[in-house]
């Protein structure tokens, strides 16, 4: 019995290692160290460039080649200034909301928001679409701000479940309402380019709050985005 238990444990560990902890998240907040911002962006870029040079050298690449010599610096800038800029609160967009002077209280849906992120397990791209809806009360939000909220939280190492929750919470906080829904459909390159190498699958995450938990409101939401669903 003990040998069978050990065998099962070994198989489970092997399976977990192969999965790379796919779709496991530890908290709603992106895991960050207390000293995450002790270094400036330029200091981080310098360090990452040095580290990435060592990675490339370890792989056997010749960094004296003209095509590769600038790669460590380019990758470092890409990480800090673009792909993972959402880690830095100073890059958070200003969320403008306005009095709901028109007393518009029907559902508002911003759909087909292009989403680029990276999975935190393999640092491979997540590419897809987000659809965000809310039912206004006293405040409404500038439409482009919804896109910026999605982009801000996407630009960090992510788990798709967490991303949907972070967008939902930010919308609720900005609009001071519980009536928000977020639907994300995305392709994960860690699935399509490694392991299972499944080129056709995508991952859907949906988060509802407030009135969107009612079946009739959910149905209305899906009516508006159904032409975008596969």
Catalytic residues: 119-122, 160, 188, 190
**Backbone angles phi and psi of 212, in degrees to 5:** -70, -10
Do 185 and 202 contact (CB within 8 A), yes or no? Answer: yes
**What is the DSSP track for 192-207?**
HSSTT--SS--EEEEE
Q: Encoding tokens for residue 147? A: 């896109």
Q: Encoding tokens for residue 138? A: 């006293």
User: How many C-beta neighbours within 10 Å does residue 177 have?
Assistant: 18
Q: How far is CA 28 from the centre of its chain?
A: 12
Q: How far is CA 139 from the centre of its chain?
A: 26
- Rounded-to-integer distance, Cα 122 and Cα 21, Å: 10
Which residue, among 222, 97, 80, has the nearest Cα to 149 in the 3D structure?
97
- Rounded-to-integer distance, Cα 196 and Cα 190, Å: 9
- Rounded-to-integer distance, Cα 21 and Cα 163, Å: 16
């Amino acid at each position: 019995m003990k040998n069978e238990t050990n065998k099962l444990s070994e198989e489970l560990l092997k399976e977990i290692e192969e999965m790379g902890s796919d779709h496991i998240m530890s908290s709603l907040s992106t895991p960050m160290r207390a000293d995450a911002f002790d270094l400036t962006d330029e200091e981080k870029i310098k360090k990452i460039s040095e580290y990435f040079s060592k990675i490339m050298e370890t792989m056997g690449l010749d960094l004296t080649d003209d095509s590769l010599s600038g790669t460590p610096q380019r990758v470092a800038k890409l990480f800090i200034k673009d792909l993972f800029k959402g880690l830095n609160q100073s890059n958070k967009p200003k969320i403008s909301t306005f009095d709901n002077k028109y007393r518009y209280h029907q559902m508002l849906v911003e759909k087909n928001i292009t989403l680029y992120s990276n999975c935190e397990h393999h640092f491979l791209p997540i590419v897809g679409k987000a659809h965000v809806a809310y039912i206004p009360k006293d405040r409404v939000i500038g439409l482009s701000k919804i896109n910026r909220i999605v982009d801000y939280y996407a630009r960090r190492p992510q788990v798709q479940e967490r991303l949907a929750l972070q967008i939902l919470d930010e919308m609720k906080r900005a609009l001071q309402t519980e009536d928000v829904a977020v639907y994300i459909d995305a392709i994960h390159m860690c699935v399509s380019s490694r392991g299972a190498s499944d080129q056709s699958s995508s991952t859907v995450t949906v988060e509802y709050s407030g009135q969107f938990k009612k079946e009739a409101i959910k149905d209305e939401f899906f009516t508006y985005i159904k032409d975008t669903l596969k």
